[in-house]
Amino acid sequence: MKVSAICLGQAEKLPGKSYKTGINKHPVAAAVLIDETGLVGDRICNRKYHGGPDQAVYVEGSLTLDWWAEALGRPIEPGTFGENLVIDGLDNRDVAAGDRFCLSGGVVLEATSARIPCNTFSARMGDAAFAKRYMAAARPGIYCRVLKPGTASPEEDASHVAFTGEKVPIAEMMRTFGKRLTPQDRARYLSAPIHTKLRADLEKAGS
With vertex at residue 95, the alpha carbon angle to CA 5 and CA 170, rounded to the nearest 5 degrees, is: 110
Is residue 204 in a domain?
A: no
Contact status, residue 158 vs residue 171, Cβ threshold 8 Å: no
Strand partners, 150: 34
**CA gap 127, 123 in Å, rounded:** 6
Question: What is the per-residue pLDDT for 48?
Answer: 63
Closest CA to 112 of 2, 3, 36, 206: 36
> What is the amino acid identity at position 167?
K
Contact status, residue 174 vs residue 189, Cβ threshold 8 Å: no
- Helix intervals (H) in 58-129: 62-72, 119-125
> What is the amino acid identity at position 38?
G
Is residue 196 in a domain?
A: no
Is residue 166 in a domain?
A: yes
**CA gap 180, 206 in Å, rounded:** 10
pLDDT per residue of the chain (207 residues) written in tens, 0 to 9:
999 999 998 877 777 777 777 788 999 999 999 999 999 988 775 666 567 889 999 999 999 999 999 999 999 999 999 999 999 999 999 999 999 999 999 999 999 999 999 888 888 898 999 999 999 999 999 999 999 999 999 999 999 999 999 999 999 999 999 899 999 999 999 999 999 999 999 998 766
**CA gap 9, 26 in Å, rounded:** 6
Question: What is the per-residue pLDDT for 10?
Answer: 81
Contact status, residue 205 vs residue 187, Cβ threshold 8 Å: no
Is residue 33 in a domain?
A: yes
73 conformational bin, left if phi > 0, alpha if psi -120 to 50, beta if neither? left
Is residue 197 in a domain?
A: no
Question: What is the per-residue pLDDT for 45?
Answer: 55
Question: What is the per-residue pLDDT for 49?
Answer: 58
Question: What is the per-residue pLDDT for 86?
Answer: 97
Is residue 98 in a domain?
A: yes
Give the structural domain span for 120: 2-175
- If one counts the domains in the chain, the total is 1
Identify the CATH number of the domain in which residue 36 sits. 2.40.33.20
**CA gap 12, 17 in Å, rounded:** 10
Indicate the SS3 state at residue 152: strand
Question: What is the per-residue pLDDT for 197?
Answer: 92
Is residue 54 in a domain?
A: yes
Is residue 194 in a domain?
A: no
- Strand ranges for the chain from DSSP E: 2-9, 12-13, 20-21, 25-27, 32-35, 38-39, 57-61, 85-88, 100-103, 108-114, 142-148, 150-152, 158-161
